[in-house]
Amino acid sequence: MKEELEQSVKTSPTISVIVPVYNAEKYLHRCIDSVLAQTYKDFELLLIDDGSKDSSGIICDEYAAKDARVRVFHKENGGVSSARNLGLDNAKGEWITFVDSDDYVFPCWLENFIHNSSGVDMVVQGFKTSYAYEYMHNKDVHGVSYKGSCKEGLLELYKNCYLGYLWVKLFRADIVRENHIRFDAKISLQEDENF
């Protein structure tokens, strides 16, 4: 089993999942376990330990020792944007997505992305919240379907309150790489919307 996983990682995974990690020991197992439990298996998981002071870095290393799809990068604390940028610099997949270390995903999360990725540059899928914000209803399911120009697509995302929320998006890696799209390390609030 481990040899099969190593083989799939060596042949460039289809999806790179980037998780910035900072002092997340309370939620980290749930997050990583949910990614590793995906029904779609052709992915790599990049855990970026952003100078955690708790046991987060050790937890990341333990997962990497058990599963060849997991790669860990340790860096000095520089914030979520610099952590995600390190993930982007090391991603090998054809597609890129993100998860926050205090989030978790459904088992069909990656499969839903890939199922809808033919002929598009970005896939957006719905999500559920387990707590209420002022602008989001508790446990509502959100989703939007659109094919068309980039400009009209961005307007559609804006209209449906989908700008930001990286973990509901799958980005074609070539576009990110060729245009050197990165997070602004000076921004730590709404940095995902800026990306």
What is the model's pLDDT at position 148?
A: 73
What is the model's pLDDT at position 27?
A: 95
For 78-113, letters b (16+ CB in 10 Å) and e give ebbbbbbbbbbeebbbbbbbbbbbebbbeeebbebb
What is the model's pLDDT at position 125?
A: 81
Q: What is the 8-class DSSP label of residue 184?
A: -
Contact present, 85 and 182 (Cβ < 8 Å): yes
What is the model's pLDDT at position 138?
A: 38
Digit-by-digit pLDDT tens for the chain (195 residues) are: 555 554 444 455 799 999 999 999 999 999 999 999 999 999 999 999 999 999 999 999 999 999 999 999 999 999 999 999 999 999 999 999 999 999 999 999 999 999 888 888 888 887 666 654 444 433 444 555 667 777 777 777 777 666 667 778 899 999 999 999 898 888 766 666 666
Does the reported pTM lie above 0.85?
no
Edge-first strand order for the sheet with 95-98 is: 70-75, 43-50, 15-21, 95-98, 169-172, 122-124
DSSP 20-37: EESS-HHHHHHHHHHHHT
